[in-house]
Structure 1
Amino acid sequence: MLTSLFFLAVMFIGVPIGICLCLAGMFYIWDSGNPLLFQSFPMQMFGGVDSYGLIAIPLFILIGEIMNGGGITRRLVELSMAFIGSVKGGLAYVNILANALVSSIIGSATAQVAIMSQVMVPQMEKQGYDKTFAAGLTVYGGMLGPIIPPSVMFVVYSVLAQVAVGDMLIAGILPGILLTVLFFVLIALMGLVYEYPRSERRTLRQRARSVAVCSPTLLIPIVIVGSILSGLANPTEAAAVGAVASALVGRYVTKEFRFSQIPEMLVRSGIYSAIVLFLVAAAAVFSWILIFGKVPQATAAWVQTVAKDPVTFMLLSNVILLVIGTVIDGIPGLIMTVPILLPIATEVYGIDPRHFGVVVVVNLVLGLMSPPVGLSFFVAAAVTGAKPGKMFIVTLPFFLVCCVALVLLSIFPWLSLGLLK
């Protein structure tokens, strides 16, 4: 109890979450009166990052850096426009489709929102869309980033849950497609009420030219996802090949990437990777302390008095995770919840850890779009100048659709596991 209060106290005064986890671990050891546990502290931290699968994280981040610097994002947007054509609300569909394509390369919601807000919102404004709606829609499109592979959050979950990274990445494909389709349906329904502008009309020849020019950029997601699905490479190897492919496409196809940019990109990727990996190391200590303190067992006893079956447990977990996700970023949220809830899900209710992982990640990503924090809305606001609160209100139907998707994912495991059978 004292450790929990100490953890909350240091977190609410603004101490970074990774340091909070380490300090809470030290406080628990001190409070337990067993100083010999301090000898295991560094071993637990090292053990947390001693995983081959974690090498994929800096490689996925590097792919996003190269893609952004090589102009590949704009080509994917152009390709989406060629596919959608001149329809009512065309740029709204393009926004979601382009985000889905970019998601297969970047794998981070906030990074994707920052990139796509610069690309899509000005274009939508020029065609007559409200800036607030355009920015909010881009935020929900960015939600696909941590769901459609590659995904940094799925890699972290795989390490925490001790499941295959490749399985988790594949498990995110169908949920990503489900969300994309639901967003398309919602845009079509909202188009019956609101007068969305039509996309710029293009001839068949213009579309064919756009497809021919931009299609080579699809080589990157094909290499990454295809090599994993086919079994030719594991996720780490696929990430390495994807980084090379993105550099070659950016240099020789889009011709906007220069090899001289690599050192700067490596530094940025290294900094972000170090932050993520430190969180994972701190999570190992946190999990160790939770197990030592028998927290999962106590939580399981309480949950079993409320949830009598797996579906009820999943719906209860949705509520808990969504509340946590509204105030804590995705990876710290994983670190705080997975060590407690996963043993209950697998041992008490017999839920597949891969299915549970998809639901956890989607919940925490949706939390990035939810008050009172809504980090993704603030990222979009910083880029576009739109107001975060107004963005949430204008795009509230998309939030409700995401909640429907979460219920479906919770009730029907095959929506996550269908490609793994």
Structure 2
Amino acid sequence: MTMFAFLALLVIGLPIGLILCIGALVFIYETGNPLLLDSYPLKLFSSLDNFGLLAIPLFILIGELMNGAGITTRLVRLASAFVGALKGGLAYINLLANMMVASILGSATAQIAMMSQVMVPEMQRAGYDRGFAAGLTAFGGLLGPIIPPSIVFVVYAVLAQVAVRDMLIAGILPGILLTTLFVLTVAALGWRYNYPKGERLSWRARFAALRDALPMLAIPAVIIGTIVGGFGSPTEAAAIGAVVAALIGMFYTGSLKLRDFPTILLRTGLSSALVLFLVAAAGVFSWVLIFGQVPQTAAAWIQSVATTPTAFMLLVLVMLLIVGTVIDGIPGLIMVVPILLPIATEVYGIDPLHFGVVVSVNLILGLLSPPVGIGLYVAASVSGVSAIRVFWVALPFFFVACLALVVLALVPWLSLAFVGG
């Protein structure tokens, strides 16, 4: 009955947080044990009683401050100064700027929306197909939740009870790998379709662009340096990053005014509430799954299909790519981690950080996969083209992302190389 109620509510389009909470209540009704209701509000509260979750509203605040400070435009100018003269220069600029923005923003959908507004019209004016420009920007947004800071990684760390710092560090090499593969794809497409070159700037102009963008680069440098160097927790690093972003917007770019802060804080609060409600609902739902021995049942079935860790990881890739096509990243994470993580760690001996990177990237890729693919629809709506066209034109990047995912699944070192150092 619980599963039927869950699927029925999912089909009618109820928000996933409410579905998780209602599903837990249906399960309690099924058990006939009203004493479980006493634990229900306690589970909701205890799921949020975690210091690491404070990083989420702070990372969201950084993104909002960055939007208001005009930082994105300067980062695009910096990327243009150094790679714009290459064949397909604007495509490289798109990826490089996405990588730099990802190191600040940490949210795929926000990044896709922001970069689509900046890059798609510019690429179209230079002679690129508008659908290709939108698709490239959408897949560039895939870097947002991988390169630290990452809200998805913070949520996973809380669900898996691993250090948020270690989880964020684990995303560094995967983010670099994905960026490198995308760059190679652009190079191959540029050679195949003879993409236009951009203007070659003088070294004086390049250094001027670097000078203008240097304070912006201080934001990711402060965040990542604080975390990797062990000078503070991810929450403290995010707080420092927010202060730096506010100071840059107010006193360097001059785009941020005191009157803007109430609106920025309101948007931050609303976005944070949505994410944190999902986390609270996940706590209750996980408790129900464990009480109902769902992980044990799933483990028995998976063990009958996958006899080795490699087979298990490949099975997970296929399963989660399907899940990710119909459910957004964080809700998908909340649904599958309580079931699959105990199997991965206890049955197959897979490191939880390695598993977290693979699962997170897998579900994020679903943002750009039909039929739902919310990232596709964001890029399409901002760019004025159909979501299906965006997907088909950017299909090479989808295949490259799948290749990166397989490599990450089979090579744990890429996720664990910097952890524990």
Tell me the TM-score normalized by structure 1. 0.99
CA–CA distance in structure 1, aligned partners of residues 109 and 87 of structure 2: 28
Instruction: For residues 140-193 of structure 1, give each alpha carbon's deviation from its aligned partner in whole angstroms, at most 9, with x where no partner exists.
Output: 000000000101110100110000000000000100000000000111111121
**Residues 26-47 of structure 1: CA deviation (Å, up to 9, x unaligned):** 0000011111101100001101
Residues in 1 aligned to 2:196 and 2:387: alpha-carbon distance in whole angstroms? 24
Q: Which runs of 5+ in 2 are unaligned?
A: none
Counterpart of 1:234 in structure 2 is 233
Q: Are the equivalent residues in 2 in contact too, given 1:79–1:215 (CA < 8 A)?
A: no
Identity %: 61
Q: Which residue of 2 aligns with 1:42?
A: 41
Cα deviations by residue, 1:177-227 (Å, 9 ceiling, x for unpaired): 000000001111111211211112212221121111111110000000111
**Partner-residue secondary structure (3-state), 1:214:** helix
Alignment correspondent of 2:297: 298
CA contact (8 A) 2:408 2:415 kept: yes
Q: Measure, in 2, the Cα distance between the counterparts of 1:268 and 1:85.
A: 34
Query: Conserved in 1, the CA contact under 8 Å of 2:162 and 2:353?
Result: yes
- Conserved in 2, the CA contact under 8 Å of 1:154 and 1:169? yes
Unaligned runs of 5+ in 1: none
Structure 2 counterpart of 1:250: 249
Equivalent in the alignment of 1:74: 73
1:21-420 aligned within 5 A: 21-420=20-419
**How far 1:121 sits from its partner (Å)?**
0.7
Instruction: Return the alpha-carbon distance in structure 1 between the equivalents of residues 110 and 400 of structure 2.
Output: 23
Partners of 2:202 and 2:117 lie apart in 1 by 27
Q: Give per-residue Cα distances to partners, 1:256-295, cap 9 Å, x unaligned.
A: 1112211110000000100110100000000000000000
1:40-67 per-residue CA deviation (whole Å, 9 max, x = no partner) reads: 0000110111000000000000000000
Residues in 2 aligned to 1:85 and 1:369: alpha-carbon distance in whole angstroms: 26
Cα distance in 2 for residues equivalent to 1:175 and 1:7? 34
C-alpha contact 2:84 2:197 (8 A) present in aligned 1: no
Quote the offset at 1:253 in angstroms: 1.6
- Checking the alignment, whether the CA contact within 8 Å between 1:182 and 1:401 is kept in structure 2 is yes
Q: Cα deviation per residue 1:104-134 (whole Å; 9 max; x = unaligned)?
A: 1111100000000011111111111111000
1:147 is aligned with what amino acid? I
Inter-partner Cα distance in structure 2 for 1:164 and 1:36 = 33
**Residues in 2 aligned to 1:9 and 1:410: alpha-carbon distance in whole angstroms:** 33
Whether contact under 8 Å (1:86, 1:201) holds in the other structure is yes
Deviation per residue, 1:65-90 (Å, 9 max, x gap): 00010000111111111121411001
Q: Summarize deviations over 1:347-378 as a string: whole Å, max 9, x none.
A: 00000000000001100110000011111111
More displaced 10-residue stretch of structure 1: 206-215 or 114-123? 206-215
SS in structure 2 of the partner of residue 289 of structure 1: helix
Q: Distance in 2 between matches of 1:243 and 1:200?
A: 35
Bigger mean CA offset, 407-416 vs 186-195: 186-195
Alpha-carbon separation, structure 2, partners of 1:260 and 1:240: 21
The amino acid of 2:98's aligned partner reads: N
Is this contact kept in 2: 1:76–1:101, CA < 8 A?
Answer: yes
SS across alignment from 1:420: coil
- Distance (Å, rounded) in 2 between the aligned partners of 1:157 and 1:233: 20
- Across the aligned residues of Structure 1 and Structure 2, the Cα RMSD in angstroms comes to 0.8
Number of equivalenced pairs: 420
Stretches of 4+ aligned residues off by more than 4 angstroms: none
Paired with 1:355 and 1:304, the residues of 2 have a C-alpha distance of: 20
**8 A contact 1:171–1:416 mirrored in 2:** yes
Q: Equivalents in 2 of 1:118, 1:219: separation in Å?
A: 24
Partner AA of 1:179 in structure 2: L
